[in-house]
Structure formats: structure tokens, C-alpha cells
Structure 1
Amino acid sequence: MEIDKDISYKCGCHFEDSEGEAHIYYSNRIGSNTFTKAELMSIHLSQLMLRHRISRATYRDIVQFVNTIIPDYNEIMLEPGAKISHGKTVDALLKSKSSVKDYEYDVCPNGCPFQTPSASMKLMSVSDMFSQMLTDPATRELLHYRANRESVAGQLTNIFDGYSYKQLMQQGLFSNPDDIVIRLYTNGFINQKKGKSSYTIVHAVVFNLVLSIRYTNEYLLQLAILPGPKKPTHLDSFLMPIISKIKDLEVHDLVIKSNGVEVCHAKIHLLLAFVCLVAESAKQREKPQTTDGTECTLKIVLLLCDLWKTSKLAILELSTFSRSSFFALDELHLVARGIGKHIYNLITVSLTKETKFFYTHPDDTLSTTEYPFFIPRTGLVTIGNCITSSRPYISVLFQGSFDNVFSIIDSTHAVDWLDFLLYIVPTLVVPFLPNRAVKTAVLSLVKGCALTLQWTLTSELLDEMDVQVIMPLTLYYYIQN
């Protein structure tokens, strides 16, 4: 099915004849005098209610109680219409003061293509959100980290040290200190512990920010939540307004004005897209009824490497599109769920005497072979018991649950698969593998994965990674011959 590429986006910008097609925003800065004291207290109380997941009924009772006992009650009462407000009133107040709005689009509740008008969803405008950030001088200064940062020769510590970014710089992109570089990615979730509806949230990461705050809640932007109960069957159609807006903003400036005078101007560039964001749509085109929506492993890369030749996805028309390197593979999906879970699947296969395995040689001939990753059921039970007995000695800094994955797998998260790969595989799984060559190959792969997780990389480490990842393939070929 063809997706309508002409789906228009919605935003709150203005256009002026003197500025051509630039997207104009008038400065609407929220300052210390924007809210009254009562409004500030209401906002703070609302944040507390959300943080602690207080019910609406309890929220109303607390508001009524607080209005009678607050220390500055007499002072606050001097303000026009002053009182502590309920949640809906606070939400309306914040929306009235902010220039960032949400925009409604027609969608199908069953995840059908974007413009089947059976329901509606709300998307945030990229330009609206960044206009608010650029309006504030302090935030704009934080965004200058990209322009002011200097790379250290021989070290890779940031996206700006990468080949793709440097190549685009040589082409004249990102020349303005206010230009913004972002990454888009999606994440699936349910809104209840045992909920049946599946939702997809679209995030934007602002690379301009220093690493210490780049991924914090305050600066991680949520652009949309795609409604359930099913996953969207054409994810790229839901993303069309976002991508269309970014395509405009990489060509035409986003201009901030105050009292008719330009404060700053910037272009917005999409440098990376998380692999699942595009792979979902690509897989749906290839095998819409047979692919698993949670599958984010290495085999997706093979599809994405040739995607730019055959696909009509709008994201591939961006000036920053750099083929396969445009699609980011993060540690939780590639290393944890990809390689960690894959090794788990390899060692937990069910074998019988009738089961035969065949190895395909380079000349396409087949030979029967022993399964190289076979661990008897008794061995898996022993590994699981060792995991359970070691839990009292695990450091409190450990992020995973460190459960016995051989008995409890449903609640296993990506970080747990990372722990399984880095700690359980080399210490408990490898000793049970059938021969030395297989053990060496698996240990080499684990070491290569551990190297990829370093905060700082050098050319020497990259070479070492290549060696450790290629070695398992070489050893496996040696086993079969």
C-alpha cells in the first residue's frame, strides 16, 4: 500500500514576506513574573501528585485541605481570584502560558495507515518545541555545546566524533552555532501492568546538549504517543508529519523574534534514526503477518543496508541520510536483546536423537554436524541454581534483577539480558559448552560486546573489536572443517 507523502504537518509558526519560507516564532519567554504565587504553588502540588501517582479524588481532598492551612494564605488571598487549583486547572494554566501546543490528527484505532479517520491522536510540533528552547537564553547557551565542543584526536566519546557528522560538516551543514542536531527513536509500552493495549511513543534526543543532561527527563522530548490497542501497521505514515516538518527545517530557518527583532535563527537536522523506527515499517512491507514487532537484532541491518535503494520512506529523503550508518543500533537492542538473548536461545534448544544439523560450506555443499552449543537440561538447571545462590552477593549498584532466566523469562528486561551476556555467559555458561573451540569463540564474542560498551573508544579499541567479533566466525568455520 502506498503512503500519501503529502500529509501536511501542523505547527504554530508564522510566515512573513520578508523572511521567505522561514518559520517565524515570536518570543514567548516564561519568566519569574509569569505566574502568581498561588499558581506556582498549584503547579508544584500538581507535580507532587503526578510523581506519587495520587488519585484524582485524593488530589481534590488535598487541595481543599491545603487551601485552609497554607502559611501565606492571607498574602495569597490578596491576589485576584487566588487559591490553590486542581489538576485540570493547572494543566490549562500551563498550556495557556506555553507556546508549545499539541495538534490533532485523524488515525485508525487498529493501527491502520495514518489518515483513516476513525479516531484521533495528538502530535507535538518539532518547531514549536525548539522555538521554546531557543527563546530562553540559558537553554540556548546549553544548546551551544555542539558548536563549542572540541574533539580529542584518536578518541571517540560523542556522536560528533563520528565519520557521518564530520562528513556532513564538510558539506556545510551545522555551520550556525544555533543549528540543532537530533535523533528520533520509538519505544513500545503498555499503560497498565496487565494491559492488552500496546502504545508506541516517539522520542527526540537533542545531541546539542552535553552528555550529562542529554538523556534526562527535562531535555528528552516526547513528540507523540501512537494509540493502541494494536501497533501501527505503517509506522512511517504516523511519522510523516514529524519527518515532513524536519525536511522543511533543514532547508528553511526557524526564526525567533522579540518585538519584531530577530533573536536567533536555526536549522533542525535529523542525524540518526533508531533502527526499529524504520525497520518496523520495512518489515511490515516485507512480511506483514509473520514478523515479530519486538525483533531488533542483527538481521535487521541486512534489510536496512539496501533499504535506501527500494523504499519510499520519507525519512530516506533527508539531506543527512547516510545509508546504513543513519540507523542507530543501541546497546540494549543490539547487544542485550540481540546477542545476549540470541546466545540464550542457542543453548536452550530442545534436541532429540532424530535431530540433525547441517553446515553449509562455501561451495554450497552440506555436511552433518554436531550441535556446537548443546548444554544438557541438567547443566541449565545447575547454571540457574548458581545464579539464584549468588544473588545475596551481587553489588547494590547492579541495575538488573539478576533472576534465574532459565525459570523466569517473561519479566526479563533488556538490561537483564546485558547482565546475562557480560557476566553469566563467561562464568557459568561457557564451562558447560561441549568443546574448547566453541568456548573460545563465545568468550571472544562477549569480549567484543564488552568493548562496544566503553564510554571512550580509540582506533586501537575499534581494531580489537573487529578481531574479537570476527574470531567466533573463524573458529566456527574451523570447527566444521
Structure 2
Amino acid sequence: MNIKDLLNNDSETRTSGHMLDDSFFVKRSNRIEDRIIAQACEKFNNRNKVATTAPMDFDKFLAAGNSNHNEAESMDTDDVQVESVEEINENIDYMSDNDYGYSRVRNPDRVYNAPVDHVTDYEHFVPTHVSNSRAQAVSLELFSMFFENNVSREVYDKCIKIVNKYMAELGSTKVDSLLSYYRVDILLKEEYPVKSVAYDMCINGCCRFSTVEEGDFIDEDETCPHCGEDRYKVERASVKPAQTFQIVPLSEQLRFELAHPEEWAKMAYGTRCLAGRREDVREDIFDGDAVGRLLDRGVVGQDDILVSMFVDQFNPFKNAKMASSVIHVINLNIDPKERYKAGNMIQLAIIPGPNHPKDIASFLELVLDDLRNLGANGLQFQTDSGLVIAKVHLVMATGDTPAVSDLMNLAHHNAHHRCRACFSYGARDSSTTCIVERDGPSLLRTEESLHQSVGGMYGVKGPNIFKDLPTMTSTAFFGLDEMHLLGHGTGQQLYVALGGKFCPTINDGGRNAHGIHLQDRLKHHRYPFALDVSLEDIDKAICASRADIPADFTGTWRSLKESNGKRKAVDWIDFLLFVVPTIVVDHFVFDRTKAAVMKLVTACRIAQQWRITAANIQEAEEAIGRCHAFLRCEIEEKRLKPTVFVTNQHMLVHLSYMMREMGPLRAYSCRPIERTIGVYSAAIKSRKKPGKNMENLLLGKAAIHHCLGCRPVICATNDRRTSNFEVASNDVAGPQLWSRPTRSSLAELAAAIGIECQDLVRSLVPFWAREGIVSFEENDEVVCANKMWKDSVVYRVRSSVDSRHGRANNLAVLDDAREYRFILKFFSQTVNRVTRLFAAIDCLSDVQRVNQDLFPAWDSLAPGVVKVVDVKSIKGIAGLVHDPNDEAIWHIIWPLLKYNQ
């Protein structure tokens, strides 16, 4: 081995990231060689700070790309140069304390100093991490952008050649050149050596076949027990499985990830929650009664890791019939603010289909075997501080309604006992199973019934695959997804109810009448959901409001009638939480309906909160009870069809139970998996071999997410005061003024916002009282801007809103959440070398409290008052909903806190 080998990035002896195995300890020469390489790289990396010229600046090059990758910024690292072999032996310390961002893995030599009993089980040790070079870090960032947008290998390589040629012309050295597709692919494999395991499955996606051990007899005539298709196919005189799917084991992914000190540090959140549970407030799944029981029974320890599993079905092709399923895991020990980022979530497998599995348990059995071992024996891995043993427990397995029925092994569709939580009986009405519960609520399914080994009663087809898990203590183990329940379920059902769907005296043909004529007919039949405006007027008001709804709202705010079957759950949730209480409730003909619907909105709004108290849960329970009592009364009076009580409507009864057991519904929402499915659907392009395409994406995305993670490329922050941003002197990392800041005098600023200069001065003086400032001159300069970034929200001034943006982020909510003001101008002022940020705002007057003080109404004709406030007093953004009857009346709404969008 010579010095050229050390410098060759493509050499087979390059610092490796392969998992340790027996050969690592047998072949001592390989061990010594790896150690020498690692020591050399670290030593030369340190020397490079003096020996090399300044590296190529990639910041401008990545500026456009970073807009789509907010979680990763650019990073400066040093390149490696070697002058003499003798320097290799000078560096004894193997670990690098460098935290420049992306990490490359290598085999740890510290294992050799560990106690003997630690070394005996080699699979518990994983590579440690060192920093990538600058070129590698930037190449990974670019590769991620190309990979996730399904750009071909050829296009990527052509782009890299163009960039490298441009950098060379600017005098960049060869070590700064970006990596080709091939070299990035090799780098990913070295950085993420976790391997997937392939299993045979039915070519139609029915089930997974049992594993054939090496040396066992292979039955070439074996067929699927569900569809009869052959397990094997013969190609060129060799027997091959007709179709396979791959699983990336959870234990291997966690072992590799948590060995990194940054990833292991994230587990501290879960440890704190398990050690200090609160009874009165629920902000996460740790605060629920279910986790409390597991702690009391000793099933879960305070240092353990809790995970949840999601199973959902998707079709990657719009114009073809195909049903693929993804198995998705979330590490609950990570703080919710970071938990739902792509780099922190785990995909175990994608079942390619093409049909929905008839035996989902056969696929999940492999995952459950791994989880049982993690729960009983724990996950073992090596860190800087020694060997870590952490048990991992599955505390929830969930998905949408069909997926949960599969997981619980319950009957689907129109089964009489189809509620996952209780033994309620559903009666048939017009080919629809409805659960009216005229005799009161039914008993909940017991823990014993979940662990039973036989089926045939209360809709249970047979034992579920989780029956032997000690963490399954109630039906809450199977979750309750707020997105499908409140969006596609409650919100959409209420919208179609406004169109008369549940009116028993008007058939489908009678509901074809348009506009107010339909509502007049519904009013004549005393239909409870009759309106004094047409449904078309409601849709027009929604569309007209779109330009005044900030991007913080997740819905599209377009007509719900135009594409009733294509609207997403978030559109229906926005309709339920914001449109109904502002412009629908007031237009119900009957007062009894107004009260009942507001109760429904109140309960659903509580279910959308991240922080709920015992009083909130009790309020939601009572609100749903009164709403359902109203519906049953209308059914008894023959003014409403019983089919309003479909399964989703019935499941609202169990909202309070789920929040007591598992905490806020947002903590186990299906939103993250739906977002993940969207990413995979966009990336899967192969129709000839979609299964192989899915396998490559599964491993590729896992590697990219690990490399990018949440670790930035550049960890050093720029001084915003010397760039195109304005920040306060005492809060450089705080709010920032954007959009080409310009210098103006106080007189010019006063004229721009429509007030006298002396009034502007009087507004500013109190903020500078500590500096002894009593007045300002008209010619004193300020720096004005049209945008502000604060708490991940971009605020715009009112005059800068362009119709092309479609959304206006210019109505600010101030400290007390009862003051709403349009933003006229942002500006910074510097006095005695101290810089502060201000906003000139137009206060809304004649704001009235309506609808149980939920959302106020504002008369837009009332004149406002211009004031100046410190930007720190701005606490959020609000939107305006137009009234369908009065164009001057706008309803003020604001979004809820969210982590998992």
C-alpha cells in the first residue's frame, strides 16, 4: 500500500462504512489498513486548514436548490492533502469531533479496547462517523434534489460536468469538483451500509410465502393459497420467484442511525416524557393513559424507545389500476417539532401489489418478529460512551379505516360489527350500514377480546397479528386518524348534507334543483340542514376568500362542488373548522341546527389541537353527545335519514376516549405517511418493473435521508447585518427583514404609510427610552422592507401582495390574540449602534365577536388607525373569509399549531 492509494477516492481501500462481521476480526491486516487510512484522513484534514487555499464558495450555487430543501443548508469543510507517510502515525485518536454536518462512516477501532463480553456479539457494533469533504457534501445535496425529482442519471452527469467546467475556469482545484452519479452512488453505499432482505410473494400481491431455508426442498409447483398463481417461474432453466419484495429491518436502521451522537441525542425528549408524565395536560402520546399503564406494568421503562407503525395503500400510477402498500415507522422519542421531518421517519417496506393484500399479516409478521426481539432483548449498539442497550416498543399500529380493519382482522364494508372500538351493532338502511345507537353507547372492546385466538364474534374474522404484544392494552393501540375522520369523514359529510343528501322526503332526482330553489324545497320539508343561501353562494365565498387566506392554512380554498371527489382531507378540514363557523352556521334556517353544528365544530377543533386538557376532553365529549342527540331526534321525527350515522360519524363518539388513551390526535395523524406516499408516487415511474423501482427508491431514499438527515451542510451562520437581510442587534437568529431593503428618511416612511412624520416620531420614541432618545429628525434614516421572516412564516406588507402569489400573508395577530392589523411596512432603525425591527400597521376597527366568540367579524368599511409596533409582538398570521351576503363583512380566522404538515 502506498501514498497514492490513500489519496485515491475510488480505491478499494478507501475508508469503509461496512457493517462489522467475523472477517473483520480474523483479517487483522485489513483492520490495520483501515486504521491507517482513517488516521491519515483525519490528520491531513487538520493540516489542510493551513496548507490549502480557500475552497470554492458553493453558497450562490446552492441558493436556488435550498428553497426546496429548507432542512439542509450549505457547509464548509476542508479537503484532504497528504505530504508524508510519517504523519500517519502521529495521530493516535481515531474519533473525529468535527461536526461539520454530513458524515461518512468507518469501522471503529475502539471496539478492540472494549470488554471481552462486548466483543463477542459483533452485530451490535456499527461504524462511527467522520465528516464528508465539502465537494461530497454539496454533491449529496444536489443528488438528493435530482433523485427526488426523478431526473435521469444522464441529465445529472451532464449538469455536474457543466458545473465542474465552470468551477475549473474560475480557478477551483480538482478536489473541489462535484461527484458524478457513479461516485455519489458509491458514497451512499459506504455511508449507509444497511442491507435489505428479499422475500417471495404472490405475483398478484395476495400474500407472502414462507421462507425456504438453505438446503430445504423447493416445491416448484407451489401456488398462492388465495389466487392459485405459481410461486416460481422458470427462466433459462433456472427457478426464480415470480415476485419479491424487500424489507429494510427496523433494528438495522435504528442501530445504524442511533450510533450517531446527534441522532442518539434526539432520544432525550422521550426519556424526559416517560420520566415526568403529566395527568392534567396531554401534548403527546406519552401523556396518554395507555403509555401510563405500560409504565405501571413494567412493560416500558423510562429509557426505552417508543415507535408507531402506519400501513397505507396507494396507487403510483394515475391511469392504471394498482394497489401498493407502504409500511412506515415513526420514532416517538423524537420531539414532535422534528419527528415528522423526512430524515427522521423510517420506511420499512413497499409491498408492490398490484392488488390489495388478502393476507396483510403474512407481510407484517416479519416486522413483528423484529419488534418482539427489540422489545424483549433491546437494541444494542456502540457509541462514544460505550455500549448502549435500548428496548424498542410498538405502541400503535394504525392507518386509514380499511387498513385498521386489516390490522385488527375485522370484517370490512357493511359488516354489522365494524366499529374498531366498541361492540355497537350496525343496521342496514338503503344498502348502507348505519350505527344509530338509539339505546345509548355500546361497551368498548376489551383488552381480552383483542388478544383472543379465535374469530367469528363481533366482526372479528380471526386473531390479529399483534395479539401477543404486551403493549396492546386497548383498542386505542390501533389509533384514530384525524385526517380521514374529520376531513373525508365529517367535513365532507356535512358539505353533502347541505345539498340535501340526507333529506328523506326528496329523492336524488329532486336534489338536482339548483341554487336557492333547492334550499327552498329543503326548508319546506323542514330538513335540518336547509340554508337561506344557495350552496353555490357558499362555494363562491370560499373561492373569493382564497386570495386573503395565508399559506399557513393547508387547504386550497377552491370550490368544493367543482371536484367533490377529488378534494383532499385538508380541504375538508379547513371547510369544517373555518368556513362552517363563519359563513355557514349563520345561514342555517333552523336555530336548533346552528347550536348542534357549532357543538360539532367545537369538538373537532379540540381534536385538532396539540395541547389538550382534561376539561377540553370533557367539553369535546359533551359536544359530540349533544350533536348526536340532535341527529337522533331529527331521525325520529323523519326529517333526517338514518344513513347520516355512517361509521365515521359514529367514531366521533370515541374521540374523547382516544385523547385520554393516546393524547392529541395530531400526534398519531396519518398526514406524515400521506406526504411520504406523495413523494414515492411521484418518483415511481417504471410500469414494466414497478416492484424493482420501489425497492431501489426504498433503499435510495433511506440512504439520502440518513446522509442529509437534519444536519446542515454549512453550520456557520452568516452575519445577517452584512447581507440583504436586516436583523435586530440582540437577536441575530430572530426575525429578518427581506426583499431588497431600501434606505428612506423618516419623512419618506411617514408619507408611505399615510401618517404625519411627527406622529411617526412619537410612536418610535418610547421604544428607545432606555437609550435616552427623546426625539428624531425627519431626515434620520431607516431601512424599509416588504417582507419579514419570523418563526418559519413569511409576512408581507399589504401593498406588495401580487395576485400571482394567490395568498396574502399581511394580516398579523398581535400579542393578546384579539388584535388584528394589516402590515403596511417593515423597517429597521439603528441608534447608537443598536438595531431594532419595527412594523407599521393598520389596526382593524369595528371587530365584533360572533359565533360563540370563536372567530370575529370585521366591517371592512370602518376606518383603521396606523401604529408602530416591535415585530416581536407579532405572534401569528390570520386570514379573511368573505361573507356570501355582505361584501363588506369579512370573518377573521387563524390556523392552529402544526408540526406534522
Same fold (TM over 0.5): yes
CA contact (8 A) 1:24 1:254 kept: no
| Pair 1:46-2:143 in alignment | yes
Report what 1:359 is aligned to. Answer: none
Provide the secondary structure at the position in 2 that maps to 1:31: strand
Q: Which residue of 2 aligns with 1:141?
A: 265
TM-superposed deviation, 1:180? 1.1
What per-residue deviation string (whole Å, max 9, x for no partner) do you get for residues 134-180 of structure 1? 21122112112211233455211111111111111111233252x21
How do residues 37-116 of structure 1 correspond to structure 2 at under 5 angstroms?
39-71=136-168, 74-76=173-175, 84-115=178-209, 116=224
1:249 to 362, 374, 384: 374
1:384 counterpart (521, 539, 549): 539
Task: Indicate whether 1:30 and 2:156 are aligned.
Answer: no
Cα pair distance change 1:420/1:194, threshold 3 Å: farther
Q: CA deviation at 1:301?
A: 3.9
State the partner residue of 1:234: 359
The CA deviation string for residues 370-403 of structure 1, in whole angstroms up to 9 with x for no partner, is 6744548982223222222332332333221111
User: What code does the residue aligned with 2:559 have?
Assistant: N
Give the counterpart of 1:347 among 489, 495, 498. Answer: 498
In 1: Cα distance, 2:277 partner to 2:586 partner? 43
C-alpha distance in 2 between matches for 1:378 and 1:283:
44
Cα distance in structure 1, aligned partners of 2:580 and 2:612 = 24
Counterparts of 1:210-289 in structure 2, within 5 Å, are 210-257=335-382, 263-276=387-400, 278-281=403-406, 286-287=411-412
* CA contact 1:372–1:438 (8 Å) conserved in 2: no
Question: Is 1:161 aligned with 2:287?
Answer: yes
Say whether the 8 Å CA contact 1:438–1:476 is kept in structure 2.
no
Matched ranges for 1:164-183 at <5 A: 164-175=290-301, 177=303, 179-183=304-308
Measure, in 2, the Cα distance between the counterparts of 1:421 and 1:262: 52
Aligned equivalent of 1:328, options 464, 470, 479:
479
- 2:601 pairs with 408, 430, 446, which one? 446
Q: Closer, same or farther in 2 for the Cα pair 1:41/1:477, shift >3 Å?
A: closer
Matched, 1:312 2:463: yes
**In the alignment, residue 30 of structure 1 is paired with which amino acid?**
H
- AA aligned opposite 2:244: S
Offset, 1:125: 0.4
In structure 2, the CA distance between the partners of 1:340 and 1:151, relative to structure 1 (3 Å rule), is same
Instruction: Give 1:4's aligned residue.
Output: none
3-state secondary structure, aligned to 1:410:
coil
Partner of 2:323: 198
Give 1:450's aligned amino acid. R
Note if contact 1:14-1:25 (Cα within 8 Å) is conserved in structure 2: no
Give the structure 1 partner of residue 33 of structure 2: none
Structure 1 residues 37 and 476: alpha-carbon distance in aligned structure 2, compared to 1, 3 A threshold = closer
- Which protein has the bigger helix share? 1
Is contact 2:380-2:389 (8 Å) kept?
yes
Q: Which stretch has the larger CA shift, 85-94 or 326-335? A: 85-94
CA deviation profile, 1:330-375 (whole Å, cap 9, x unmatched): 321222222112223433355685759xxxxxxxxxxxxx674454
Cα 1:113–1:204 change in 2 (3 A) is same
The whole-number CA distance in structure 2 between the counterparts of 1:461 and 1:176 is 28
Aligned length: 440
Give me the CA root mean square deviation.
Answer: 3.5
Letter in structure 1 aligned against 2:125 = Y
Equivalent of 1:403 in 558, 561, 565: 558
Cα deviation, residue 421, structure 1: 1.0
Letter in 1 for 2:192: S
Task: Tell me the secondary structure at the aligned position of residue 30 of structure 1.
Answer: strand
Could you tell which deviates more after superposition, 300-309 or 41-50? 300-309
Tell me the amino acid that sits aligned with residue 154 of structure 1: D
Instruction: Evaluate the alpha carbon distance shift between residue 93 and residue 195 of structure 1 in structure 2; reply closer, same or farther with a 3 A threshold.
Output: farther
Q: Deviations over 1:267-313 (max 9, x none)?
A: 110011124385241687624xx579xxxxx9454479476143322
1:87-118 CA-to-partner distances (Å, cap 9, x unmatched) read 35423431233242222121224221122542
Segments of 5+ residues of structure 2 without an aligned counterpart are 1-18, 23-115, 210-223, 225-230, 232-241, 424-443, 456-461, 509-524, 638-901
Q: Is the 8 A contact 2:371 2:393 kept in 1?
A: yes
Q: Is the 8 A contact 1:109 1:227 kept in 2?
A: no
Does the 8 Å contact 2:599/2:627 carry over to 1? yes
Output one character per residue of 1:73-100: Cα deviation in whole Å (capped at 9) or x when no partner.
Answer: 54429xxxxx744435423431233242
| Structure 1 residues 291 and 31: alpha-carbon distance in aligned structure 2, compared to 1, 3 A threshold | farther
Contact residue 290 and residue 474 of structure 2 kept, 8 A:
no
Q: What's the TM-score once normalised by structure 1's chain length? A: 0.80
8 A contact 1:202–1:225 mirrored in 2: yes
**2:360 and 2:407 in contact (8 A); partners too:** no
Deviates more, 1:87-96 or 1:211-220: 87-96
User: Which has the higher mean CA deviation after the structures are superposed, 103-112 or 412-421?
Assistant: 103-112
Query: Which gives a bigger RCO, structure 1 or 2 (Cα 8 Å, sep 6+)?
Result: 1
Distance 1:376 1:258 in 2: 65
1: distance between equivalents of 2:134 and 2:615? 58
Aligned counterparts of 2:117 and 2:403: Cα–Cα separation in 1: 38
How do 1:353-372 residues align onto structure 2 when only pairs under 5 Å count? 355=507, 372=527
1:126 paired residue number: 250
Q: CA deviation at 1:31?
A: 1.6
Give the whole-Å Cα distance in 2 for the aligned partners of 1:198 and 1:49.
26
CA distance in 2, matches of 1:371, 1:467: 26
Instruction: Specify which of 572, 578, 587 is matched with residue 417 of structure 1.
Output: 572
- Whether the 8 Å contact between 1:249 and 1:268 is mirrored in structure 2 is yes
Structure 1 residue identity aligned to 2:360: L
The residue that corresponds to 1:8 in the other structure is none
What CA distance in whole angstroms lies between the structure 2 residues aligned with 1:13 and 1:327? 37
Seen in structure 2, the aligned counterparts of structure 1 residues 163 and 45 have a Cα distance that, compared at 3 Å, is same
Q: Letter of the 1:436 partner, please give it.
A: D
Q: Report the TM-score, using the length of structure 2 for normalisation.
A: 0.45
Q: What is the SS of the residue equivalent to 1:445?
A: helix
Distance 1:418 1:106 in 2: 41
Q: How far is the alpha carbon of 1:225 from its aligned partner?
A: 1.4
| Bigger Rg, which one | 2
Provide the identity percentage: 24
